[in-house]
Structure 1
């Protein structure tokens, strides 16, 4: 059995982010301290020496992946323990410092913290280096940066058998990152509307070069008049913020009715403008 997605609790996860995000992350203009050839070894060494943490690290294409095996992660309510939060925060801090002080080409970094003793649940944080650089330079605010960090929670029973991480992960690409970020933003908005209990999922179809979103909405009118405008509004907001133009359109599918809507990229702005509430 492989990994299985676990319903994430964004408020819990974002609280975790806020506790670790704004430590000092070094000088982005400093000369490289960690050469590419020794990057993984250096990051592991810093975590061990500064925080007595044993982590595993590997550069997968242009994504730096860091794995934290934790013996104690969750309490009986499946809330992250404060000491686990502290450890994850320490590793995120170190990783942020390292990516600003290396000559390696890194676009993203991914920190994976997993309970290897009891629950086999992992929390994954994915951050885009350009976003981090914008935060450091004051070009985007903390709240906006918080929305740009991806958080996922999964279940993988393999962790209970072998705490050695296999690094069988795909490097993060910008289109897929944006698709997931858009879905995360949408789900946070829908979460605040208690009458709507739905989850939007996303992907980027590289064959068709389009964003693809799915949800289950029993009422087709709600789908078209309430949910679709929110989804497309967030698409416009995000692709404009990143100046991302390498896509042909957006498809949103209602899996309940098995109907979908496709909007071409050039028509998105007009559609959103006409459907403002």
Structure 2
């Protein structure tokens, strides 16, 4: 751990020294972040997007006529265009004087299905990935992806059906926890052994309590399968205490609808929890 920390410190020191020696100025300014992203998408890829800043969260909305193809999958051309938009977003974020904390990208099918594709990322994670402090696999796990049908998206070229808000790290972490639990039990390795009915996590800003609700039923027996309740606890501790090292919470409440088991842990209890 000490060696790893020293390596990180050494690399950061070199980056700071290198930047100061070259006197590198940021390409973009925070006050112009909306126009910077819109112009880059338009000028380099001929793509029209709507961009709106909500405190420390930057929202990007992209309307498409056919987000989904005949097979119910993302259209290939649209997938490439989404990649171009995300690349433009990253170029601005990584070259700006005061980057926001979160980006939320929404792509909507405004002609046929009303589908919404939502991608949420924590910008410090993007920076860590670019500096190779975290792997590509870890980086992808730290991005929240959601897909759903919203009839209000039909005909909406400006993104009016999307309510913009400022995201905080606690609510983002809850999204990642729920997503990761679902990923584990719907993965190719385990999907034939489990049925995921519910796996959601949330955060109450008033009580400062994380909540996890799971309903994961075992369909087939196999030795050494993960236990849903324990896996949920491990996932929560990993992201709350180890990845994002959150301090602004009081407790974690986890409920398993399949077994009826409920457990509440204080911040200290969660931090000290051992699975050995």
Scaled by the length of structure 1, the TM-score of the pair is 0.81
Matched, 1:236 2:244: no
Which residue is 2:4 aligned to? Answer: none
Q: CA deviation at 1:104?
A: 3.9
1:237-256 mapped onto 2 (5 Å cutoff): 237-239=238-240, 240-255=242-257
Q: Deviations over 1:95-117 (max 9, x none)?
A: 00101222344001111111111
> Counterpart in 2 of 1:204?
203
Ranges in structure 1 where 5+ consecutive residues have no aligned partner: 1-28, 220-224
Deviation per CA, 1:25-54: give whole Å up to 9, x if none: xxxx65222223322112111101100101
Structure 2, gaps ≥5 residues long: 1-18, 219-225
| Deviation of the 1:202 alpha carbon | 1.1
Q: 1:256 to 1:97 in 2, by over 3 A?
A: same
- Mean Cα deviation higher: 103-112 or 141-150: 103-112
Inter-partner Cα distance in structure 2 for 1:165 and 1:201: 26
Change (3 A) 1:197 1:217: closer
Q: Equivalents in 2 of 1:226, 1:272: separation in Å?
A: 15
Tell me what 1:19 maps to.
none
Separation in 1 of the partners of 2:123 and 2:216? Answer: 36
Determine if contact 1:210/1:251 at 8 Å carries over to the other structure.
Answer: yes
* Counterparts of residues 137-176 of structure 1 (less than 5 Å): 137-166=131-160, 168-176=163-171
User: CA contact under 8 A between 1:122 and 1:155: conserved in structure 2?
Assistant: yes
**8 A contact 1:47–1:54 mirrored in 2:** yes
What displacement does 1:76 show? 1.9
Aligned positions, number? 242
How far has the Cα of 1:243 moved from its partner?
A: 1.7
What SS is found at the alignment partner of 1:216? strand
The Cα of 1:257 is off from its aligned counterpart by 6.8
Do structure 1's residue 109 and structure 2's residue 107 form an aligned pair?
no
For residue 32 of structure 1, give the secondary structure of its aligned residue in structure 2: coil
Aligned mate of 1:54, from 42, 48, 57 = 48
In structure 1, the residue matched to 2:174 is: 179
Answer yes or no: is the 8 Å Cα contact 2:116–2:153 preserved in 1: no
- Go from structure 1 to structure 2 and tell me whether the alpha carbon gap of 1:270 and 1:102 turns closer, same or farther (over 3 Å shift): closer
Indicate the residue corresponding to 1:90 in structure 2.
84
Q: Which of the pair has more CA radius of gyration?
A: 2
Displacement after TM superposition at 1:77 (Å)? 2.3
Give secondary structure in 2 for the equivalent of 1:183. helix
| Selected match of 2:193 from 180, 189, 195 | 195
Structure with the larger RCO, 1 or 2 (CA within 8 Å, 6+ apart): 1
Within 5 A, what are the aligned runs for 1:119-134?
Answer: 119-134=113-128
Q: Distance in 1 between matches of 2:155 and 2:64?
A: 14
Whole-angstrom CA distance in 1 between matches of 2:156 and 2:87: 26
CA shift, 1:82, in A, is 1.1
State TM-score, norm by structure 2. 0.81
Q: Does the CA-based 8 Å contact 1:215-1:254 persist in structure 2?
A: yes
